[in-house]
Structure 1
Amino acid sequence: MQMPKRQTDDTVAQAAWLYYVGNLSQQEVSTQLGVSRFKVLRMLADAREQGLVRITVEHRTARALALADRLVTTFGLTEAQVAPVGESNTDDTLARNAVAILASGYLARIAASETPVTVGLGWGRTLSAMADNVTGVRNSALTFVSLMGSVTYASHTAPGDVCVRLAAQTGGRAILLPAPFVTDSAAACDGIMAQRLVREAMGVARSADHAFMSVGECREGSILFQSDIFSADQIQQLRDADVVGDCCGVFYRADGTVADIELNRSTPCVQPADMTRMDTVLLAGGLGKRAATLAVLRAGFVKKLLVDEGLAVALLAEAEKQGK
C-alpha cells in the first residue's frame, strides 16, 4: 500500500519542480505529466502544504529600504530589514510570516560560514515560522542553543522545539537548557542555575555568536498573560511595575529598563549583559508588538532588527513623538 503513496508524492514534487524551477506553464505541466490542469493546480497546492515548496522574495522596495535606513539611524542599529507587506496591513499572521522569511534568509547568510557557528534562540511564533522557512542550509558546524528555559507544555514555538527543528533541517546540533521558563522564586531559580547540566548549557548560550530573539507583550489579553505560565502574584508584579514586554525571559518597562521585580530573578535565561559581544537579531511582526519592541530597542543590546513595514512605521512614529 505504500508504493502508490510514494508515487503520488513523487508526482507532486515533479509538478512543483517543472512549474517553479523549470518555468513551465500549468498547461505545459499538465501535458508533460498527462494529467488535467485542475489536477496540476491541486498538486501545486499540495506541494506548498507539504513543505516541498518554500517561496521567498528577495527584492526590497525602495520604501522598505528607506524605512530600514531610518530604523538604523533612530535606534543606533548596525542593520535593519523591513518586509514590504504594506503600511496598512493589519494581518499579524502575514506580518510574522514575512519577518520570518527575512530571518530565514539572514540565518542562511550566517550559516554559510566555514567556521563553527553557535546560534542562540529565544521563543515565539515568529522564530517558529523562521524555522519553517529555512531551506537549502546544510552545515554540520552549526550549533543551536536555547537562551532561556522552556514552557511547561510541548509547543511548536518553545525554544527547545525550535532548536531541535533547526538542527535537524541544517545537519547541525541542538543544545537545550534543562530548565523551566519561570520558577516559583528567585531562590528556586538560583538552585536550578547551580545544576551542572544547566551551567554547561548556559555556558554555551552565553558564548553564542548570534542570538535570534522575539518579543512578547505583557498586557491584558496577551499570550503571556493567558498562558498559565505565571502565578497570580507574578502577574501582579508585572502590572505593578508597568512592564510592557519581555525578550528571552527578561521583562522590560517602556523606557527599556529591566523591571526590578522578583520575577526577573526567577527566570533561568541569558541576561542582556551577556549579549554585548553577540550578533543580536530581534524579530518583530505586527502592530501589537509596538510597545514591547520599543522597550527592548531602548534597552540597548539589540544590534539588528527585522520587522514588517507597518510596525517599522509605527516604531519610527512613536520614537519621533517621544524623542526615542
Structure 2
Amino acid sequence: MTAGGKDTDDMVQATWLYHVGQMSQEEVSRRMGLSRFKVLRLLQDARDLGLVRISIEHGTTGTLARADRLIQHFGLTEAMVAPNTGDDAAAGRRGVGQLAASWLARIGREGPVTIGVGWGRTMAAMADALTGLRNPELCFVSLMGSMTHTSATSPFDVCVRLAALTGARAVFLPAPFLADSAEDAALIRRQRLVREALDVARAADHMVISVGECTADALLQSSGILTPDEAAGLIATGAVADTTGKFFAADGSLAATDLNLRAPSIELQDLHRSDVVVLSSGTGKAAALRAVLAAGFVNRLIVDEPLARALLQEEAA
C-alpha cells in the first residue's frame, strides 16, 4: 500500500480522474502514462486509505478541477497545477518544479525511456525537487545547444544533474545555443557529433521544456545569449515567446526572424512527434505560454495556480 509522497500524488490524481472525471481505467492509464495494472493498484490503495468516500479527501481538489479546465480549454492530455503560494516568483517555480519532478518520477520508473530536456529556471527547479528515482535505463538528452558558461538553467547543466540524480545516461548537443548566422547553424548541424545527438533528441519518448517571454528583461537577454540589437529586433517582429530555440508570434506561428534559423536545435516538427510537457510559472508568462499552446505541439502542461487562473480568465474573456 502506498503511504505518502509522489505515490500519494499519483493516487489522488488517478482517483480524481476515475471518480470525479468519470474516466475509465483505460482512459486514466492513457492520461497518466501508467499501465492499467498500476492504475488499478492506485485506485485500490485509495479505497484502502479512505480517500474515496462521497468526495476525494485531499487538499488539492481545487487545483485538480482547474487542471481539468485547462485540459478542456487547450486540448491537452494532462495538466497539473501547483497551489498558489503568493507573489513570490521563486516559490511559484518551486511548486511547478515539485509537480514536474513527480511527473518525471512517474514516467521514469520502469524500462528504457529517453527524455529530451530544455532549459530555464523551472527546469532547474524540477532537478532541485527530484528525489527517489533511480533507473540506469533512462537517458536525458538536451534539445538545444548551450551557453558558454555554467548555469543551473542551461541544457547542459540540467542534463548533468538529472543524470547524476537518477543514475541515467546523458547526451549533450555539442553546439552553441545560437549560431552567428543561418549558414553557420546549418554547418554545425552537419557535424557528425551534432547529428548523432540530434538523432537521439528527435527520438525522445518525452520532451520537457519551458517557455520564455520576448521582453527586455527575459532570460535570453539577461543571460547574454542575445545582443541588445538582436533583442530589440526580435521584439520588433512581434515575437512573444521562445522555446527550444524557436520564436513564436502570439497566434502560435513562427515569428518572422532569422533567429529561427540560427539555433542548431530540434525542429518544430520534432516537437509535434513527441509527448511534450511544458513547465511555466507566474502570470507574466501568460501571453508567451498562450502562444506556445496555440502552436499545437503541447501535450501536457504544468503551471502554478496564478498562471492557470490567468490562462483560464483570458480564455473565457
For the superposition of Structure 1 and Structure 2, which TM-score range results when normalised by the shorter chain? Answer: 0.7 to 0.9
Runs of 4 or more, structure 1, over 3 Å off, are none
Residue 244 (str. 1) matches residue 240 (str. 2): yes
* Structure 2 residue aligned with 1:168: 164
Q: CA deviation digits over 1:188-247, x for unaligned, max 9?
A: 100101100000000000000000100111112222223221234422331221111111
Residue 276 (str. 1) matches residue 272 (str. 2): yes
| Counterpart secondary structure, 2:301 | strand
CA distance in structure 2 between the aligned counterparts of 1:316 and 1:60, rounded to whole angstroms? 21
The range that moved more, 252-261 or 182-191, is 252-261
* Structure 1 residue aligned with 2:76: 77
* Structure 1 residue aligned with 2:32: none
| Counterpart secondary structure, 2:310 | helix
Q: Counterpart of 2:251 in structure 1: which amino acid?
A: D
Q: What root-mean-square deviation, in Å, do the aligned CA atoms of Structure 1 and Structure 2 show?
A: 1.6
Structure 1 or 2, whichever has the larger Rg, is 1
Is 2:97–2:125's contact at 8 Å kept on the other side of the alignment? yes
CA distance in structure 2 between the aligned counterparts of 1:235 and 1:179, rounded to whole angstroms? 21
* Structure 2 residue aligned with 1:103: 100
| Counterpart secondary structure, 2:252 | coil
* Structure 2 residue aligned with 1:123: 119
CA distance in structure 1 between the aligned counterparts of 2:230 and 2:58, rounded to whole angstroms? 44
Is 1:237–1:263's contact at 8 Å kept on the other side of the alignment? no
CA pair 221-129 structure 1, distance change in 2 beyond 3 A? same
Is 2:216–2:231's contact at 8 Å kept on the other side of the alignment? no
Residue 293 (str. 1) matches residue 289 (str. 2): yes
Which of 77, 90, 94 pairs up with 1:93? Answer: 90
CA distance in structure 1 between the aligned counterparts of 2:247 and 2:175, rounded to whole angstroms? 18
Q: TM-score, normalised by structure 1?
A: 0.78
Which of 130, 133, 137 pairs up with 1:134? Answer: 130
Is 1:60–1:84's contact at 8 Å kept on the other side of the alignment? no
Q: Counterpart of 2:133 in structure 1: which amino acid?
A: V
Is 1:120–1:144's contact at 8 Å kept on the other side of the alignment? yes
* Structure 1 residue aligned with 2:309: 313
Q: CA deviation digits over 1:93-139, x for unaligned, max 9?
A: 111000000000000001112x2100000000111111111111110
Deviation at 1:257, TM superposition (A): 0.8
| Counterpart secondary structure, 1:82 | strand
CA distance in structure 2 between the aligned counterparts of 1:59 and 1:285, rounded to whole angstroms? 23
CA distance in structure 2 between the aligned counterparts of 1:257 and 1:237, rounded to whole angstroms? 17
For structure 2, the residue ranges without an aligned partner over 5 or more in a row are 6-56
| Counterpart secondary structure, 1:243 | coil
| Counterpart secondary structure, 1:180 | coil
CA pair 137-263 structure 1, distance change in 2 beyond 3 A? same
| Counterpart secondary structure, 1:276 | helix
Deviation at 1:260, TM superposition (A): 2.4
| Counterpart secondary structure, 1:69 | helix
CA distance in structure 2 between the aligned counterparts of 1:299 and 1:320, rounded to whole angstroms? 19
Is 2:221–2:227's contact at 8 Å kept on the other side of the alignment? no
Q: Percent same amino acid at aligned positions?
A: 53
CA distance in structure 2 between the aligned counterparts of 1:174 and 1:237, rounded to whole angstroms? 35
Deviation at 1:75, TM superposition (A): 0.4
CA distance in structure 2 between the aligned counterparts of 1:242 and 1:59, rounded to whole angstroms? 43
Map 1:217-236; keep pairs closer than 5 Å: 217-236=213-232
For structure 1, the residue ranges without an aligned partner over 5 or more in a row are 1-19, 21-57
CA distance in structure 2 between the aligned counterparts of 1:265 and 1:305, rounded to whole angstroms? 27
Is 2:179–2:262's contact at 8 Å kept on the other side of the alignment? yes
Q: CA deviation digits over 1:145-189, x for unaligned, max 9?
A: 000010122111101111011111101110000000011110010
Map 1:31-42; keep pairs closer than 5 Å: none
CA pair 60-73 structure 1, distance change in 2 beyond 3 A? farther
